[in-house]
Structure 1
Amino acid sequence: MSKTDETLKKLMDSNLYSRYSGLLSLSNISLQMVDTRGNILLEFNPSPDFCKFICQEDEMRICSDYISRLEPGKSDRFICQHGLENILLPVNINNQTIGYLVGAQVYSADSEYQKYLIDIMAMAKEKKIEPAAIAKSIAAIKTIEENKIEIHEQICNHISQNIGQDFSQSIINTADKAVVRLSIEKEMLEKKIIDLEAKNMSLVINPHFLFNTLNSIARIAYFEKSHTTEELIYCLSDLLRYNLKQDDELHTIGAEMDNIEKYLYIQKVRYKNRLEYDIDIADQIKAYRIPNMIIQPIVENALIHGITPKRDGGKIKIYAEKYQDNINISVMDNGNGFPKEVLEGLQQSENKLGIGFRSTDKRLKRYFGEQYGLKITKSDYSGSTVTISIPSKPNARR
């Protein structure tokens, strides 16, 4: 047995998985430990079935894209031939590379389209696998936001560095110190991920809405080639651009309302006379600032649970009022109220709010304090009203 293999055996015998599994619970993206020849020694988080059973020649050996990049001391991040994001990090002990951490194996938003370019039939013939099995494995590959991939890379880099440090210092003698250090660093990473999730709350928009909108545009373009098509495309473009803005965490209520109006205009084209809407916000209130995309999910909820189920549709009204030291912005619909099971779900969830509303409530509290947030102020047969409150004091208008 070579010196490197002997070191690896000791490393594998050191409860490596249990020591880092807590940290890896922060991410469910794949991560494996491999030796310098590419043999998989330990799976912290399993790789996708597509990679394991189709791309790899052996279930216990990484794919050729990885193996071609194994160089002592060299880290890498690359996109494989099928468009998946991958990371490669050396594990060094006493200035010698004894193995690598490899993983990610996900699509980013920019590379996801490449899954549709995979020639499934040719691959099925080459691998002697049923096309349906390959298609299913491709569909199961995750698509992850770029910043979450970067967080995963940071976690993995932390692990690769600490494996070497901890092993060099003798695991037995430094166990307590290692636990304390990992606990502190895990807490720091948890806070970073919480901040990341808070930012990503503003990126959420129902994909069904996007697909339906694009279908509406395509149909109108085919039959009419009219001004309506141009207006829809511009509205959708502005809506997505606003949705992705991260330059300023707080946007004016006026900017948020402009965005909501574009969203409702698109939905109006889709639902025609089954949807009416009215936005009544005084100019002096429009100057106050709120988190990006804080109202759109509430409006979408009103449309889905209030207007859509009604045969004749209905109306959504958005209005605001200043009361004492608060500004209250309400989204009201004249639907049938939240369905019983939805309302019960909201009431049974933490803080008596469902996950979407809870995210909105948490974002508002994070910016303005615990006394502010979101409330379902009404929900019965005549409709629903959801209200958010923010401070009206000058120091809140930042």
Structure 2
Amino acid sequence: MIEAENLLVKLVDQRLYGRYGSVIPISNISLILVDNMGKILMEFNPEPEFCKLVCKKEAARVCDGCLSRLGNGLEHRYVCEYGLESIYMPIVVGEETVGFVIGVQAYSTDTEYKKYLLDVATLSEETGESQEKIAKALSTLGTVDSKEIRIYEQICGHVSNNIALDIEERILNNETDIERLSIEKEILEKKVLDLEIKNDSLVINPHFLFNTLNSIARTAYYENSHTTEELIYCLSDILRYTLKTENQLHTIEAEIDYINKYLYIQKVRFKDRLNFEMNISKELLPQRILNMTLQPIVENALIHGITPKRDGGSVKIYSEICKEEFIIYVEDDGNGFPPRVLKTIRERKNVEQTNSLGLNSTNRRLKQHFGESFGLFIKKSDYSGSIVGIKFPKS
């Protein structure tokens, strides 16, 4: 008997998101990894807020309706009581199913009408959540057509098969971590189909770009140019991440993974002139933030803090947990903000009119999404460096 949950947990501990997060669709459609008991081990793309508010009894598990479908062996697709389409693909090691990859959790063009038949007032009474909160979550549910669902079904199948192979190679057989480049290329081609469906004008550039990067990485792999190969894959992951919806919520873990890759590329560029350190509480990793929140702040620290110094410097990213919120700090030991910018910030008590530093739009996005009490603030800025804080509400 295989200890199913332990195998999946071991794989998650080996940075599963970094390996598969780059081959999921560029969209806000849900894709998660669960064990046989419905416990959520990884969210590649998060579940809809509607499911969390209305359907689920426990935050870390799928709803009872989904759990009842897993492992019935009859089909890999179903429609829930609220009309949402879901796909689930088993992860089979040997002859035993050790978990599932679940995707979509959105309306199809055939079931979208059910969205308008739901009684928000009744749902509010049943769940104890406010009508406004449920109505907002309901309005954000996506709709996909049959062609898109087939693509997601193929992607879920690819991811589940590759996770099973990873368990056999890396966990059971204790083999080295071998990148299956041809398999990644095949999955990326599925992603190109996803782009085709959404916007024909986007087809040529992503198709050319990702496949070219993949070909260059393959060449570097066979020439034993491992640093070059790693740089190319980091760049490819960064480009995929930046193509995702601007105001889509991601886990802090995903955002930190992106920043690690961004800083890895910068480290190769700056060499000994740049050092960076991450210290984010594990408690915060599942929390949700807007994508591309940290990047402008980190880039600001590099361009205006580290680059002007002959000997370079360091960037530190760390967190603080408060009662109703959490804060992520980006600290550098550069020369601080230019005096005129710092004067503007202090007079206005926010980061407006700092467009040149890439802070204004990030601050505006945060306030629009989370409320006026959240966003960016300058904790410190002088000749010894700067500290920019990013304040978010707890999920």
Q: Provide the TM-score with structure 1 as the length reference.
A: 0.46
Q: Provide the TM-score with structure 2 as the length reference.
A: 0.47
| Greater C-alpha radius of gyration | 1
Ranked by relative contact order (alpha carbons within 8 Å, sequence separation 6 or more), the top structure is: 2
